[in-house]
Amino acid sequence: KGKRAFIAGVADDNGYGWAIAKSLAAAGAEILVGTWVPALNIFESSLRRGKFDESRILPDGSLMEITKVYPLDAVFDNPEDVPEEIKTNKRYAGSSNWTVQEAAECVKNDFGSIDVLVHSLANGPEVVKPLLETSRKGYLAAISASSYSYVSLLKHFLPIINPGGSSISLTYIASERIIPGYGGGMSSAKAALESDTRVLAFEAGRKKGIRVNTISAGPLRSRAAKAIGFIDMMIDYSSANAPLEKELSAEEVGNTAAFLASPLASAITGGVIYVDNGLNAMGVGV
Ligand code: NAD
């Protein structure tokens, strides 16, 4: 039987979440996505109007189908967490059931279970500020949206992940090496995400035999990356210095996610898997 995947963090066709959805769809999976509430209307109307049709083409020529788009804001676990100014915000008022707990309940009611959970989201309001200039509020917001959001997603979806299932997130090497410009506590958030990947692999493994891995991806010109402001420089740096002198494609990350979700990876858990043309292995620029 085909697998079912829930991919949190898809709001256009430029990011890693979209590419992972495509690779999983090409491997025969049914695709559900979780889309950030403020981005939901544009994403759904663009999908409907065919704006993504060219990007939906799979290797066999068919178009990727997204069975259902769920509204999601992964910084809120349940309705009691949602402050009044968000509840009454125009961009949120039109949607419902978008906290993590409610989204998991909706997926359960609609489909019963999933096999693959993907976390492809991050947010750091002060990402352009150096760590020394980052406020407590900005730092905690980065951790909340980029790290705890994963703990919460796995916690709420774990009961409906089938045995043999797999959970995957996206991280960045700024967690372990100095990448000036990746500020606002985002480097800290990725370090937490990688550490949590190990602990969650243990807990979800012992509890349900679920595997938990994170992909440390090289630079991609996504919407989120463009907001950081140094993405073109990072892409040029990688092409100039990585063992493989090519630009990384999102599809290469998508294919790794499909591998990690498959039985081919049945003994791989708790890992940080580099998909970066080998840049992580370099000790100096060349
Ligand atoms: P992207 O813009 O495609 O994805 C980020 C998504 O997060 C967006 O769809 C956004 O709407 C969503 N989001 C933000 N806050 C949210 C919230 N509170 N609740 C739900 N969704 C929320 O950009 P991307 O670069 O593909 O990012 C995907 C993942 O890949 C992130 O974890 C990112 O850190 C990681 N990553 C990116 C790069 C890169 O160079 N682009 C490199 C390594 C790792």
Cβ(243)–Cβ(276) under 8 Å?
no
Cβ neighbours for 69, distance < 8 A, ≥ 6 positions apart: 32, 33, 34, 35, 40, 43, 44, 47
pLDDT at 145: 98
Q: What is the Cα 245 distance to its own chain's centre?
A: 26
Rounded Cα–Cα distance for residues 150 and 197 (Å):
9
pLDDT at 156: 98
Active site residue 246: no
Which among 120, 147, 152, 167 is annotated as catalytic? Answer: 147
Which among 190, 216, 222, 238 is annotated as catalytic? Answer: 190
Please report, for residues 22, 74, 131, 148, 153, the alpha-carbon distance to residue 139 in angstroms, rounded to integers and kept in the order given: 33, 16, 8, 12, 20
Crossing angle of helices 186-208 and 149-157, rounded to 10°: 20
Q: Is 43 in the pocket of ligand 1 (CB under 6 A)?
A: no
This prediction's pTM: 0.98
One pLDDT digit (tens) per residue for the chain, 286 residues: 699 999 999 999 999 999 999 999 999 999 999 999 999 999 999 999 999 999 999 999 999 999 999 999 999 999 999 999 999 999 999 999 999 999 999 999 999 999 999 999 999 999 999 999 999 999 999 999 999 999 999 999 999 999 999 999 999 999 999 999 999 999 999 999 999 999 999 999 999 999 999 999 999 999 999 999 899 999 999 999 999 999 999 999 999 999 999 999 999 999 999 999 999 999 999 9
Ligand 1 center to residue 1 CA distance, Å?
A: 30
Cβ(195)–Cβ(240) under 8 Å?
no
pLDDT at 1: 66
Q: Where are the alpha helices (DSSP H) in 158-222?
A: 186-208
Active site residue 190: yes
With the most atoms of ligand 1 within 8 angstroms of its CB, the residue from 10, 16, 147 to mutate is 16
Rounded Cα–Cα distance for residues 120 and 7 (Å):
7
pLDDT at 135: 98
ipTM exceeding 0.95?
Answer: yes
